[in-house]
């Protein structure tokens, strides 16, 4: 396993209940730039190419590229205190049920510490607020199967490195299109942070818990600890576990589109 890679079994996508792209705020038709057109921009298109942005780093994560053909590029836009702007575009073909890339902002652990002073890890029992704000737009030139989601990593120890196996993965889906769906089976519907979410539970060698928002949104203002405490209350996550990494980006199955993050921040404690 590569230090900056992820292993995930193929995610099955739904064949019903497809969410129209227009439901994602700010989504419009437009022309997506090619990798060559982004070659001179800050960032790049190489697999796992990274960009340091204060306490975060942008990861051009193409962990599922073997499942199809295509490319993904990522770039930085601005840094102001703990708030960043960044973008990614992509074009993928191949197995419509398999994720190809997850270009994302990373805070904390991601198979190896890359940026120090990230405010992580924190023990779940400490109940520290993990406040995040995220505003973004999705621009699509042809049908794309994707989600826009947070990806949280938990371990049973506060001391981890790239060889440490995660105990839990917790995803928070803000939007999806093209029939994209989470791993596992639906357990229940609940309200967290002022919105309704469907909780899915799966296992790929570690537990995967996915909170899928009922209705897409193009912005979020959440305390991510609220989702962890929901799992603690249901006996799915232990209070002694540690939150070690927080990512935010777009998982892409197929298609051609661009995600522009106009403002993103995470603050712990």
Q: What is the mean pLDDT of residues 187-216?
A: 97
Q: What is the mean pLDDT of residues 77-98?
A: 96
Q: Look at residue 98 and tell me whether its pLDDT is greater than 80.
A: yes
Strand partners, 209: 170, 201
Query: Is 5 among the domain residues?
Result: no
Q: Look at residue 96 and tell me whether its pLDDT is greater than 50.
A: yes
User: pTM value?
Assistant: 0.86
pLDDT (0 to 100) of residue 46 = 96
Length of the chain: 269
The two three-digit tokens of residue 269, written as one number: 């404690």
Query: Is 3 among the domain residues?
Result: no
In Å, what is the CA distance from 221 to each residue of 45, 133, 217, 229, 262?
Answer: 30, 4, 11, 17, 14
pLDDT band at 262, cuts 50/70/90?
very high
Tally of domains within the chain: 1
Element (DSSP H or E) covering residue 237 = none
Q: What is the mean pLDDT of residues 137-151?
A: 90
Q: Look at residue 23 and tell me whether its pLDDT is greater than 50.
A: no
Q: What digits encode the pLDDT tens for the residues 237-249? A: 999 999 999 999 9
Domain with 119 in it: what CATH number?
A: 2.60.120.180
pLDDT (0 to 100) of residue 66 = 96
Instruction: Mention every residue, 6+ apart, whose C-beta is less than 8 A from residue 60.
Output: 43, 44, 45, 46, 47, 48, 49, 50, 72, 73, 74, 88, 101, 103
Query: Is 102 among the domain residues?
Result: yes
Q: Which domain holds residue 264?
A: 21-268
Q: Quick one: three-class SS letters along 69-116?
A: EEEEEEEEEEEECCEEEEEEEEEEEECCCCCCEEEEEEEEECCCECCC
pLDDT band at 178, cuts 50/70/90?
very high
pLDDT band at 35, cuts 50/70/90?
low
Q: Look at residue 32 and tell me whether its pLDDT is greater than 80.
A: no
Cβ(224)–Cβ(50) below 8 Å: no
Query: Is 95 among the domain residues?
Result: yes
Cβ(189)–Cβ(196) below 8 Å: yes
Q: Look at residue 203 and tell me whether its pLDDT is greater than 90.
A: yes
Q: What is the mean pLDDT of residues 72-88?
A: 97
d(CA 239, CA 229): 9
Q: Which of 255, 254, 256, 245 is nearest to 121 (CA)?
A: 245
The share of the chain scoring above pLDDT 90, in percent, equals 76
Query: Which of 71-75, 151-155, 162-166, 228-232 is the least confident region?
Result: 162-166
pLDDT (0 to 100) of residue 163 = 85
d(CA 21, CA 216): 9
Query: Is 11 among the domain residues?
Result: no
Query: Is 212 among the domain residues?
Result: yes
Tokens 């995610």 sit on residue? 11
Query: Which of 51-65, 108-122, 189-203 is the least confident region?
Result: 108-122
Q: What is the mean pLDDT of residues 109-124?
A: 87
Query: Is 42 among the domain residues?
Result: yes
pLDDT (0 to 100) of residue 110 = 79
């Amino acid at each position: 396993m590569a230090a900056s890679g992820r292993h995930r079994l193929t995610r099955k996508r739904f064949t019903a209940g497809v969410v129209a792209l227009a439901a994602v705020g700010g989504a419009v038709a437009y022309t997506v730039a090619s990798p060559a057109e982004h070659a001179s921009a800050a960032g790049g298109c190489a697999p796992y190419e990274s960009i340091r942005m204060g306490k975060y780093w942008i990861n051009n994560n193409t962990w599922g590229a073997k499942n199809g053909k295509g490319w993904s590029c990522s770039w930085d836009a601005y840094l102001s205190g703990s708030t960043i702007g960044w973008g990614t575009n992509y074009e993928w073909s191949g197995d419509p049920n398999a994720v190809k890339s997850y270009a994302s902002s990373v805070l904390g652990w991601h198979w190896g510490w890359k940026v120090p002073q990230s405010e992580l890890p924190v023990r779940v029992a400490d109940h520290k607020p993990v406040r995040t704000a995220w505003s973004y737009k999705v621009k699509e030139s042809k049908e794309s199967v994707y989600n826009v989601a947070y990806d949280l990593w938990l371990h049973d120890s506060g001391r981890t490195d790239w060889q440490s196996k995660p105990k839990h993965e917790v995803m928070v889906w803000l939007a999806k299109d093209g029939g994209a769906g989470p791993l596992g089976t639906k357990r229940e519907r609940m309200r967290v942070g002022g919105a309704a979410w469907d909780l899915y539970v799966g296992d790929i060698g570690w537990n995967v818990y996915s909170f899928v928002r009922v209705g897409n949104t193009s912005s979020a203002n959440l305390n991510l600890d609220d989702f962890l405490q929901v799992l603690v209350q249901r006996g799915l996550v232990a209070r002694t576990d540690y939150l070690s990494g927080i990512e935010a980006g777009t998982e892409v199955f197929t298609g051609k589109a661009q995600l522009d993050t106009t403002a993103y921040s995470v603050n712990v404690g």
